[in-house]
Amino acid sequence: MSEQKVAIVTGASRGIGAAIARELGAQRINVVVNYARKADEAAGVVDFIEKKGGKAIAIKASVDSAADLDRLFEQTLSKFGRLDILVNNAGIGATAPLDDVNAELIDAAFATNVKGMLLASQRAAKAIGADGGAIVSISSALALQPTPAQAVYAASKAAIEAATRILAQELGPRKIRVNAVAPGPVETDLLPLNDGLRAFINSKTALGRVAQPADIAKVVAFLASDAGGWITGEVIGANGGLRI
């Protein structure tokens, strides 16, 4: 069994998930880079970690599939012999005004964002050893900030926050801490910014800039670390002082 801690990061082939995987790898945590479609990008994250002296593997699995998640956790334990950290990062957007919302959009958002988080957390709770560990899920500032056309997405993220608080109570006796991070706007390929949108976000953020994935990754890494050992059941806003 590896003496180093082991983390699974879902949806880690790009964006915030990739940044989290790289940050954990830099802390000499063995990282499982989970992905659903972007195999080349996941391999790039693994390569980055390994070139920095860390250990990582990429495993394809859809978090909305119980069978895929079973395989993800089985392969993790087979490779590293332990699990200490789960980061529930995999998620999809669901932007639509109410008139355009349909059952397919709701089902897709909740299957990945909520079902995936709950099923992965269930498996992590069974895999984490007696010394305990940490589960960190990615929510969104939109869970609390009323924004037109975001009812489905915001509802799915609010569900993650509610589940986080409940799981913290359930898993506390097993020394498993459960928290969430709620980012504001983050510059990724999923949020392309033109000059006008960038200026607007900058004007609404106390720190005067748009977040980068690494900003969120550092918060997640803190919550997963021993330094965050007295924090559980919390949703940490990581938004640079966003106000709208």
DSSP 131-194: T-EEEEEE--GGGTS--TT-HHHHHHHHHHHHHHHHHHHHHGGGTEEEEEEEE--B-STTS---
Single out the residue of 233, 242, 225, 229 nearest to residue 183, CA to CA. Answer: 242
Give the pair of three-digit tokens for residue 191. Answer: 């949020």
Q: How many CB atoms lie within 10 A of CB 144?
A: 14
Sorted by sequence, the CB contacts under 8 Å of residue 160 that are 6+ apart come out as 88, 113, 114, 117, 137, 138, 139, 143, 180
Backbone angles phi, psi at 214, to 5 degrees: -65, -30
The residues assigned a catalytic role are 153
Single out the residue of 9, 76, 13, 22 nearest to residue 42, CA to CA. Answer: 13
Reduce the DSSP state of residue 62 to 3 states and report it: coil
User: What does the alpha-carbon distance between residue 57 and residue 170 come to, in Å, rounded to a whole number?
Assistant: 30
User: What does the alpha-carbon distance between residue 244 and residue 4 come to, in Å, rounded to a whole number?
Assistant: 42
